[in-house]
Amino acid sequence: MVPASYYLLLSAVLFGLGVVAFVFKRNVITMFMAIELMLNAVNLAFVTFSRQLGTLDGQVFVLFVIVVAAAEAAVGLAIVMLIARNRQSLNVERVDLLKL
């Protein structure tokens, strides 16, 4: 039996690594992927607690998180494509003024 704290530790580590990736990477798409990594880490915590408490609520919530992440990825990547088209660069440091 794997203790629940091991899964929670893994979830915390993945979340921390996601934060590090979000802060340190300069490419917009990679920063987006760091957000997805954070969401995944949270999903793991939800499933662990769902198993701990013996109900299925945690798993239903994971479904909702996945759906919202999908919708967010779709719109976010459309925005990324517009940014790339308008500024010819995917570097966030070049997207710091509203003026083109």
Structure tokens at 66: 């996945």
The nearest distance, CB 23 to other proteins, in angstroms, is 6
| Cβ contacts of 84 within 8 Å, gap of 6 or more | 28, 90
**Cβ neighbours, 10 Å, residue 95:** 14
Q: 75 vs 98, which CB is nearer to other proteins?
A: 75
Angle between helix axes 28-53 and 4-24 (nearest 10 degrees) is 170
Q: 25 vs 95, which CB is nearer to other proteins?
A: 25
The nearest distance, CB 38 to other proteins, in angstroms, is 10
The nearest distance, CB 48 to other proteins, in angstroms, is 7
Q: 74 vs 98, which CB is nearer to other proteins?
A: 74
